[in-house]
Amino acid sequence: MACLDHAARTPMAEVIQFPCPACGATLRLPLAMAAIHGPCPRCHEEIIAPDPELGLGARMPEPAVSAEAATPPAPESPPEPAPPVSVEAQEPTPSQTPSAPPPARSQHGVVLLLSVLLASVISLAVGYFLGLHFSPPVSTAPVAIAPPAPPPAPVAPVIPEPAETMVETQPAPVPEASPPPEKTPEPVKASAAAEAALKAFLDAPDWSTRAAHALAPDKVRAAMEAYSHKVPDGPTAFRSVSIQNSYTDKSTGNTLFIFQVVTEAHASGFPVAVVETESGWQVDWKAFVEFRDDHFKSFADGPTGENGRFHVIVSTPPADRAAKTANEHFSSFLLDPPMPGRQRLAYVRKPSAIHDTLVAATANGAVFTPVLELAKQKAPDGKTYLEITGIAASDWLPEDR
């Protein structure tokens, strides 16, 4: 028996909402199923849906008349039995026994009997067929409707859609929570890529392998080979590598990292520049060997007549010391390589452009980090000193970056 699901998606204008005439439950049904006959989903009583076109409301079906009710009631007392008949009276006497067969019935009587029997069989078959496939007719007379139950509290409208059975209003199913999105791997940081290039540079077994990780390899390859004949080449064992500073070149947008490399010989570490280039991250080999092999100390303690280029921190000496070392021909400045215990006093001639630049850069206690050209000189009294003969660069950034 066709009915309607309350959660169907039929438009609201085509839905009939009515109370069950048996229990008062609020039911909803598509207009196309008006006057349908079916069970209430709450009380399971048989009801008939309203028919707006005929102006009929929901009602209970009239009870059908059963076959037992149509049969006349049995008499309260059984009828008196007929008097018994003796067997002897029922037995035919010789005079009553037919001596000849009964006369034959006429042909018209036989045909009439067969017609009656055939009509009876057909009537029984048709009645049985109709009884199987059709329910008893239901009266459509108006039925008194019980007053409806109080309306329920207002709720959000539920759009019904057709189904085969009427059911009560149920809450919409809650959708299952979707699994959290997979986390995408974070991109490798620039400092991590630069550090990997530096460690590959330090672990290289020889100068030719190390040249692949050096800044401007075409320019320094010959110097690296020549230097390997003076200083034994091989891997540089290190204890730790950490970022000390970074710089972004405004003209190219490339980044430069300054790493502090701690080794057995340099417990406080020394700086190494790693530069971002079109070929990847590359190490400033010139500054690296200058600090690792302590070139400034070897130069300051070495013989006179030598020249060199060094990364140093320049500052003015204390006033009492400056008064003792300066004269009308020279001014003195303190030079500090980026490693402890290497501080030296150096002199610059005056007046000169170099002198003016150093005075301006160190005014009011400021420090200056240039790449200076130095010469080891000997004074007339036989003492040696360091003379500042040029400023190769005003900062420590690699010249080939």
Residue 350 lies in a domain: yes
Tokens read off for 378: 């000997």
Tokens read off for 233: 């080449």
Q: Which residues pair with 258 in a beta bridge?
A: 245, 273
Query: What is the model's pLDDT at position 36?
Result: 84
Among 21-30, 357-366, 388-397, the least confident range = 21-30
Is the distance from CB of 314 to CB of 333 less than 8 angstroms?
Answer: yes
Query: What is the model's pLDDT at position 176?
Result: 65
Provide the number of structural domains found in the chain.
3
**Whether residue 338 is found in the same domain as residue 234:** no
Query: What is the model's pLDDT at position 142?
Result: 46
pLDDT band at residue 174, thresholds of 50, 70 and 90? low
Q: What is the mean pLDDT of the chain?
A: 76
Q: Determine the Cα–Cα distance for residues 344 and 334; give it in Å rounded to an integer.
A: 6
Residue 117 lies in a domain: no
Mean pLDDT across 138-162: 49
Residue 334 lies in a domain: yes
Q: Determine the Cα–Cα distance for residues 381 and 378; give it in Å rounded to an integer.
A: 8
Query: What is the model's pLDDT at position 30?
Result: 83
Query: What is the model's pLDDT at position 5?
Result: 40
pLDDT tens-place string over residues 218-239: 999 999 999 999 998 899 999 9
**Whether residue 27 is found in the same domain as residue 156:** yes
**Whether residue 131 is found in the same domain as residue 160:** yes
Q: Residues 6 or more apart from 247 whose CB is under 8 A from it?
A: 255, 256, 258, 397
**Whether residue 40 is found in the same domain as residue 144:** yes
Is the distance from CB of 43 to CB of 25 less than 8 angstroms?
Answer: yes
Mean pLDDT across 38-47: 87
- Is residue 32 over pLDDT 90? no
CATH of the domain at 199: 3.10.450
**Whether residue 267 is found in the same domain as residue 320:** no
**Whether residue 289 is found in the same domain as residue 306:** no
**Whether residue 318 is found in the same domain as residue 401:** yes
Among 136-145, 296-305, 374-383, the least confident range = 136-145
- Is residue 9 over pLDDT 60? no
Among 16-30, 228-242, 350-364, the least confident range = 16-30
- Is residue 49 over pLDDT 60? yes
Residue 95 lies in a domain: no
Helices (H), 139-284: 190-203, 207-211, 217-230
- Is residue 189 over pLDDT 80? no
CATH of the domain at 346: 2.40.50
For residue 271, which of 282, 259, 262 has the smallest C-alpha distance? Answer: 259
**Whether residue 312 is found in the same domain as residue 289:** no
56: domain range? Answer: 1-63+123-169
Query: What is the model's pLDDT at position 41?
Result: 87
**Whether residue 306 is found in the same domain as residue 286:** no
Share of the chain above pLDDT 90, in %: 47
Query: What is the model's pLDDT at position 249?
Result: 86
Vertex 73: Cα angle to 70 and 77 (nearest 5): 165
- Is residue 61 over pLDDT 90? no
Residue 135 lies in a domain: yes
pLDDT band at residue 383, thresholds of 50, 70 and 90? very high
Mean pLDDT across 338-350: 94
pLDDT tens-place string over residues 229-265: 999 889 999 999 999 999 898 888 899 999 999 999 9
Residue 194 lies in a domain: yes
